[in-house]
């Protein structure tokens, strides 16, 4: 199982963001994507899920956008930054929509319904199950969307700042739930992360996007050094303490 | 654990069927000539040459079925447009789709084309309108912008209709005006529109679980396994067809598509596998009842039923607008 990107170029109307990016993501790997604002991190995820037609992105030698939509959704899924709920749809239905690609029957499976309930419980949303999703707080909605992606359970999860809007204690708990899920199913992840220390804690690999076409991709240990990240983010960083935490110079 | 959408389907939907049957019966029963329920039932199954039989078969039945078909078509079109727009303010009338269909149909009438061609011509008008309004969504996904584009399109069609009417010979004018205001008194052939309604409902039920997901927005729907471009194209075609066939029977009747799906959703029904058939049944019932009022309120004179639905719909629309802002 592998998601391959072969010489992918992303650009806006004005400038080139990423020039000929190549990398290959295999089972169980966790790639963090780091870069300044507007460097093309979200655009990269959109290209990977086939929202934009890029033949350079392939899953098992077949272009992502050539897959049948349901087949694609079983292989790759996106937690986007844009959180939308519809009308007065219940939180449980939002999560249950993750099972669309997994079934051919008209009504959702009873098994998926149970799974959705279990996922909501594990993410601390059992109280909100029958609440309209539009009434959830930002952090609650985010967790519901994470539950939906976990129900969909694609082989490659694309996570665009998944822990944004979450309270501190929820960040750690949700991070652990996501990491456990990835480990249990041996899924891979491409994870956009702004918190450098979290990035260093979770990543096996990293992609650094400079935003001017330049990029680096490889093993996390080699790339996520304070020197590298200082240059990338144009901010002096230093390592502190035994845990080797990164901190900004003031 | 119970599947709530399935429960609604089995327990709530029959209520809507009863509502529809009741309104249909009332419309057949009430009119200038007294016909008893017993007589209506026996005449429906075995028509004879009596006056009562003629009234039932040539006046009340076609008009009642036309009203039901038009109400159902508009309610279904509205429910589908709300998914396209991701906004409960979607309605064929508000978004100018009815206006496009009406302008094209009017144009066809002026040119004197055959009656059966009016619906296809209206379909082209509706399609033009919908492509202009939703074509913008490729560049501008702001819902308010889309809504505004629809309102402006409606104004444009309004102007075009006024222009056409000012150039129409005075003899033809009253009939056209009545038709434009939404009038069912000339509706004679309900079966084609009932057929389009049935086909439209079956087709939209087939994509109803995709609609449930489309409301989470293009990115999420795509990621969850929907072919969003294809779905959008289906919805353009379907809503245009539904609106065009409603408009060519009864002119531009407004706000049914706005009120009905919203009322259904207020009952706590959110799943489109339920919202769509319930909207059809409730929309049909509402227009049958509104048309009944239009017939009997100041009889023997008749009021165009579109005036009723607009008087009811505008306050609901404003209320929805205020609610969606807060």
* Per-residue pLDDT, B326: 52
* Per-residue pLDDT, B41: 86
* Per-residue pLDDT, B284: 97
* Chain centroid, CA A201 distance in Å: 15
* Per-residue pLDDT, B115: 76
* Per-residue pLDDT, B88: 81
- Inspect the interface and report whether the beta carbons of B225 and A114 lie closer than 8 Å: no
| Residue B117, domain member (yes or no) | yes
B4 touching chain A per CB within 8 A: yes
DSSP state of A208: E
Give just the sign of the alpha carbon dihedral A116, A118, A124, A129: positive
B303 touching chain A per CB within 8 A: no
pLDDT tens digits, one per residue of B129-138: 988 887 776 6
Minimal Cβ distance to A107: which of B6, B88, B222: B6
Q: Say whether B227 sits in a helix, a strand or coil.
A: coil
Minimal Cβ distance to B223: which of A73, A86, A114: A73
List CB contacts (< 8 A) between A117 and chain B: 1
Task: Suggest the residue from A78, A87, A88, A154 to mutate for an interface test with chain B (most B CBs closer than 10 A).
Answer: A87
CA of A96 vs chain B CAs: smallest distance (Å): 10
| The residue to which tokens 């304070």 are assigned | A226
Of A13-17, B16-20, B184-188, B322-326, the range with the highest mean pLDDT is: B16-20
pLDDT band at residue B142 under the 50/70/90 scheme: low
Across the range B101-113, mean pLDDT stands at 87
| Residue B27, domain member (yes or no) | no
CATH code, domain carrying B283: 1.10.3470.10
Q: Which two tokens stand for residue B14?
A: 């029959």
| Residue B24, domain member (yes or no) | no
| Residue B152, domain member (yes or no) | yes
The stretches in chain A having pLDDT less than 70 are: 1, 242, 249-250
Q: Which two tokens stand for residue B184?
A: 């069912």
**What number of C-beta contacts closer than 8 Å exist between A and B?**
91
- Inspect the interface and report whether the beta carbons of B212 and A97 lie closer than 8 Å: yes
* Per-residue pLDDT, B314: 82
Least confident interval from A202-206, A239-243, B117-121, B300-304 = A239-243
Distance CA B21, CA B13 (A): 13
Q: Per-residue pLDDT for B180 more than 90? A: no
Q: Per-residue pLDDT for B139 more than 70? A: no
Q: Per-residue pLDDT for B1 more than 70? A: no
| Residue B44, domain member (yes or no) | no
Distance CA A63, CA A50 (A): 9
* Per-residue pLDDT, B296: 87
B216 touching chain A per CB within 8 A: yes
Of residues B4 and B2, more confidently modeled: B4
* Per-residue pLDDT, A191: 96
Put the strands of the sheet holding A57-59 in their side by side order: A16-26, A2-11, A57-59, A62-63
Q: Which two tokens stand for residue B178?
A: 């009545």
List CB contacts (< 8 A) between A78 and chain B: 219-220, 222-223
* Per-residue pLDDT, B37: 85
Q: Which two tokens stand for residue A50?
A: 């086939």
Domains held by chain B: number: 1
ipTM above 0.95 for this complex: no
* Per-residue pLDDT, B43: 87
Of residues B325 and B50, more confidently modeled: B50
- Inspect the interface and report whether the beta carbons of B271 and A110 lie closer than 8 Å: no
| Residue B301, domain member (yes or no) | yes
Task: Suggest the residue from A51, A86, A95, A133 to mutate for an interface test with chain B (most B CBs closer than 10 A).
Answer: A86
Least confident interval from B15-29, B147-161, B177-191 = B177-191
List CB contacts (< 8 A) between A110 and chain B: 1, 3
* Chain centroid, CA B46 distance in Å: 32
Best CA proximity match to B243, nearest among B98, B138, B135? B98
Q: Per-residue pLDDT for B161 more than 60? A: yes
Mean predicted lDDT score pLDDT of chain B = 87
Q: Say whether A11 sits in a helix, a strand or coil.
A: strand
Residue A11 has phi, psi (to 5 degrees) of: -150, 155
Chain A residues contacting B via beta carbons under 8 Å: 46, 49-51, 69-70, 72-74, 77-78, 80, 82, 84-90, 92-94, 97-98, 100-101, 106-108, 110, 113-114, 117, 145, 148, 152, 158
Distance CA A180, CA A190 (A): 15
- The pTM for the full model equals 0.91
| Residue B305, domain member (yes or no) | yes
- Do residues B213 and A100 lie in contact, with contact meaning Cβ atoms separated by under 8 Å? yes
pLDDT band at residue B141 under the 50/70/90 scheme: low
Distance CA B73, CA B195 (A): 11
- Inspect the interface and report whether the beta carbons of B224 and A98 lie closer than 8 Å: yes
CA of B88 vs chain A CAs: smallest distance (Å): 7
* Per-residue pLDDT, B93: 86
pLDDT band at residue B315 under the 50/70/90 scheme: confident
- Do residues B274 and B8 lie in contact, with contact meaning Cβ atoms separated by under 8 Å? yes
Across the range B162-183, mean pLDDT stands at 82
Q: Which two tokens stand for residue A56?
A: 């350079």
| Residue B57, domain member (yes or no) | no
Residue-range definition of the domain harbouring residue B228: 71-325
Least confident interval from A73-77, A82-86, B152-156, B284-288 = A82-86
List CB contacts (< 8 A) between A80 and chain B: 219-220, 223
* Per-residue pLDDT, B117: 85
């Amino acid at each position: 199982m592998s998601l391959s990107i072969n010489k992918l170029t992303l650009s806006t109307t004005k400038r080139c963001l990423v020039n000929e990016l190549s990398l290959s993501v295999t089972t169980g790997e966790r790639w963090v994507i780091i870069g300044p604002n507007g460097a093309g991190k979200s655009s990269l995820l959109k290209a990977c899920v086939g929202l934009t037609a890029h033949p350079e992105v392939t899953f098992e030698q077949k272009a992502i956008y050539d897959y049948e939509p349901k087949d694609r959704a079983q292989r790759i899924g996106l937690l986007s930054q844009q959180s939308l709920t519809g009308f007065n749809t219940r939180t449980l239905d939002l999560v249950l929509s993750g099972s669309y690609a997994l079934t051919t029957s008209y009504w959702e499976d009873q098994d998926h319904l149970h799974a959705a309930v279990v996922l909501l419980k594990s993410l601390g949303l059992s109280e909100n199950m029958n609440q309209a999703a539009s009434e959830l707080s930002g952090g609650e909605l985010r967790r519901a969307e994470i539950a939906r992606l976990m129900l969909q359970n694609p082989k490659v999860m694309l996570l665009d700042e998944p822990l944004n809007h979450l309270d501190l204690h929820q960040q750690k708990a949700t991070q652990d739930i996501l990491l456990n899920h990835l480990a249990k199913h041996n899924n891979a992840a491409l994870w956009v992360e702004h918190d450098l220390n979290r990035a260093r804690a979770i990543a096996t690999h990293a992609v650094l996007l400079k935003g001017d076409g330049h990029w680096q991709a490889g093993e996390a240990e080699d790339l996520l050094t304070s020197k590298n990240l200082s240059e990338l983010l144009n901010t002096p960083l230093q390592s502190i303490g035994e845990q080797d935490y990164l901190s900004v110079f003031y | 654990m119970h599947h709530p959408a399935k429960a609604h389907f089995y327990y709530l939907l029959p209520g809507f069927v009863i509502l529809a049957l009741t309104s249909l019966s009332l419309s057949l029963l009430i009119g200038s000539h007294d016909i008893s329920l017993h007589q209506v039932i026996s005449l429906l199954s075995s028509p004879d040459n009596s006056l009562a039989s003629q009234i039932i078969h040539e006046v009340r039945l076609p008009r009642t079925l036309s009203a039901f078909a038009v109400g159902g078509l508009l309610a279904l079109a509205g429910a589908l447009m709300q998914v396209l727009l991701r906004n409960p303010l979607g309605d064929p009338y508000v978004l100018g789709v009815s206006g496009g269909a009406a302008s094209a149909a009017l144009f066809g009438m002026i040119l004197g084309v055959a009656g059966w061609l009016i619906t296809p011509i209206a379909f082209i008008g509706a399609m033009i309108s919908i492509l202009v309004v939703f074509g913008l969504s490729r560049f501008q996904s702001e819902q308010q912008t889309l809504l505004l584009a629809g309102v402006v399109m409606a104004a444009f069609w309004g102007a075009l209709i006024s222009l056409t009417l000012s150039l129409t010979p005075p003899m033809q004018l009253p009939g056209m005006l009545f038709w434009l205001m939404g009038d069912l008194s000339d509706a004679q052939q309900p079966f084609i529109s009932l057929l389009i309604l049935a086909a439209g409902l079956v087709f939209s039920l087939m994509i109803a679980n995709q609609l449930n997901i489309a409301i989470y927005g293009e990115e999420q729907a795509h990621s969850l396994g929907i072919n969003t471009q294809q779905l959008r194209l289906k919805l353009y075609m379907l809503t245009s067809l539904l609106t065009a066939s409603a408009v060519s029977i009864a002119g531009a009747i407004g706000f049914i598509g706005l009120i009905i799906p919203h009322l259904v959703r207020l009952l706590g029904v959110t799943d489109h596998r339920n919202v769509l058939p319930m909207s059809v049944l409730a929309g049909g019932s509402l227009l049958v009842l509104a048309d009944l009022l239009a017939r009997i309120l100041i009889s023997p004179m008749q009021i165009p039923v579109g005036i009723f639905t607009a008087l009811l719909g505008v306050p609901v629309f404003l209320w929805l607008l205020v609610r969606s802002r807060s």
